[in-house]
């Protein structure tokens, strides 16, 4: 690579220097009152981010830990669980349901599509014993979004607990945890929040705690949400040593979000996503999602033009122009490419740069990308 690198992957995303500097601060003893105060402060900021008055727990592993911990904590053998699948992460959750003995009812749509309220209502009518509904809000590998604001209230009507994977949604798109009836909402710092990977951030409702208490999961394990509630939230004792530096960094990223304003941060992600879509379309490419209404704001998925091979294209783009984007993940590998715009990279300059060099690299490979038209179209969405 000749010049600097710009990482516009679908996560983890580049972070602001203020966030990485925070992570470099001296390590505090986790029972130093200053650290305990900082940790509680981060929980309060996360409540503002999730728009919730529910408990916040911060588990000390990448967001997949939070997803598995929720399955471990909520699902008893024989429980019927409704799993909504519009992509790779949605499908993955089925494995967790099976692992903890649950019975799966699935609504599966094509991975360029999204789930409708009618489909969810009909699943509950047919299966009145559903105990839990799991759904991915922003399905990063598909570049799509599910309407959790409409789906979760239906599940609550039928008495189910709602579990939402909003790892790439929160901070990038509107998420109203309490208003929308989300019992367990999970996100991670490494996507739209703009910090580094390594934590699971969870908002947990009283209904979810009731369900967890009734399912009586094992304690003293890394997967135990109850340990965090009973030891830390209730008695001020950490179940084990927290990731001190990651908490510093998360704190700085959250400060930056609230200095800018949460709604302004949502809008910035939305503007960059629209610009990226407009730019790619004007260059002559096709978007992956079946409609722009269901395109996520955290990344833009587009179809790979015929005759271009995904892995070697990505390598060419990185080696020649320094721009890093993501291939399709899992079963979508080879079908689409993704430009991430999340957190620190959901800004006009990196988006315009990514479009320029994606266009140039496509031309190098024989696809006649109309770079000028693409940049004009993107600019007109931004300014």
Give binding residues for substrate as ranges.
338
Stretch that binds ligand PLP, among 57-65, 112-120, 301-309, 347-355 (CB under 6 A): 57-65
**Nearest distance from C-beta of residue 301 to ligand PLP, angstroms:** 12
- Using the rule CB under 6 A, is 11 a contact of ligand PLP? yes
Binding mask 188-207 for ligand PLP (x = CB under 6 A): x--x-----x----------
Instruction: State the distance between the two ends of the chain, measured CA to CA, in whole angstroms.
Output: 32
> Across the strands, what pairs with 336?
303
Sheet of 299-303: strands edge to edge?
A: 299-303, 336-340, 326-327
Binding mask 14-53 for ligand PLP (x = CB under 6 A): ----------------------------------------
**Nearest distance from C-beta of residue 275 to ligand PLP, angstroms:** 21
Q: From the list 38, 43, 47, 64, which residue makes contact with ligand PLP (rule: CB under 6 A)?
A: 64
Q: From the list 58, 59, 63, 253, which residue makes contact with ligand PLP (rule: CB under 6 A)?
A: 63
**Nearest distance from C-beta of residue 68 to ligand PLP, angstroms:** 11
Q: Are 103 and 80 in contact (CB under 8 A)?
A: yes
- Using the rule CB under 6 A, is 294 a contact of ligand PLP? no
Question: Which 133-172 residues touch ligand PLP, going by CB under 6 A?
Answer: 136, 138-140, 165, 167-168
- Between CA 48 and CA 103 the distance in angstroms is 35
- Between CA 51 and CA 177 the distance in angstroms is 6
Question: Which 71-130 residues touch ligand PLP, going by CB under 6 A?
Answer: 89
Q: What is the DSSP string of 8-50?
A: --SSSPP--HHHHHHHTSPPPPTTSHHHHHHHHHHHHHHHHHH
- Using the rule CB under 6 A, is 62 a contact of ligand PLP? yes
Take residue 217 and report the two structure tokens written for it: 């999961």
Q: Are 361 and 321 in contact (CB under 8 A)?
A: yes
Nearer to ligand PLP among residue 226 and residue 299 (C-beta): 299
Nearer to ligand PLP among residue 196 and residue 257 (C-beta): 196
Q: How many CA atoms lie within 13 A of 57 on its CB side?
A: 31
- Between CA 85 and CA 108 the distance in angstroms is 5
Answer positive or negative: Cα dihedral of 287, 289, 290, 295: negative
Q: Is 105 helix (H, G, I), strand (E, B) or coil?
A: strand
Where along the sequence are the contacts to ligand PLP (CB under 6 A)? 11, 62-64, 89, 136, 138-140, 165, 167-168, 188, 191, 197
């Amino acid at each position: 690579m000749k010049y600097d690198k710009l990482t516009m992957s679908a996560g983890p995303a580049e972070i602001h220097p203020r966030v990485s500097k925070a992570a470099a601060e001296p390590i505090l003893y986790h029972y130093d009152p200053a650290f305990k105060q900082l940790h509680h402060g981060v929980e309060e900021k996360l409540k503002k981010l999730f728009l919730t008055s529910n408990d916040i727990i911060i588990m000390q592993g990448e967001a997949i830990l939070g997803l598995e911990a929720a399955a471990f904590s909520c699902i008893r053998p024989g429980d019927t669980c409704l799993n909504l699948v519009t992509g790779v992460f949605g499908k993955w959750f089925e494995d967790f349901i099976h692992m903890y003995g649950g019975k799966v009812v699935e609504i599966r749509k094509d991975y360029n599509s999204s789930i409708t309220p009618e489909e969810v209502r009909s699943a509950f009518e047919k299966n009145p014993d559903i105990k839990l509904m799991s759904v991915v809000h922003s399905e990063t590998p598909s570049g799509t979004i599910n309407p959790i604001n409409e789906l979760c209230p239906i599940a609550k009507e039928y008495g189910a607990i709602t579990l939402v994977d909003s790892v790439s949604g929160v901070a990038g798109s509107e998420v109203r945890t309490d208003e929308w009836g989300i019992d367990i909402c999970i996100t991670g710092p490494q996507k739209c929040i703009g910090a580094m990977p390594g934590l699971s951030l969870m908002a947990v409702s009283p209904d979810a705690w009731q369900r967890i208490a009734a399912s009586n999961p094992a304690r003293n394990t890394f997967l135990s949400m109850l340990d965090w509630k009973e030891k830390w939230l209730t008695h001020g004792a950490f179940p084990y040593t927290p990731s001190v530096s990651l908490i510093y960094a998360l704190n700085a990223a959250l400060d930056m979000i609230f200095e800018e304003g949460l709604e302004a941060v949502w809008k910035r992600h939305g503007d960059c996503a629209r610009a990226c879509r407009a730019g790619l379309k004007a260059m002559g490419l096709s978007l992956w999602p079946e409609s722009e209404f269901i395109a996520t704001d955290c990344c833009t998925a587009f179809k790979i033009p015929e005759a271009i091979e995904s892995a070697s294209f990505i390598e060419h783009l990185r080696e020649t122009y320094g721009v890093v984007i993501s291939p399709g993940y899992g079963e979508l590998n080879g079908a689409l490419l993704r430009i991430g715009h999340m957190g620190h990279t959901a800004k006009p300059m990196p988006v315009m740069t990514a479009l320029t060099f994606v266009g140039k690299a496509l031309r190098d490979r024989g696809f006649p990308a109309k770079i000028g038209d693409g940049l004009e179209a993107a600019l007109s969405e931004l300014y």
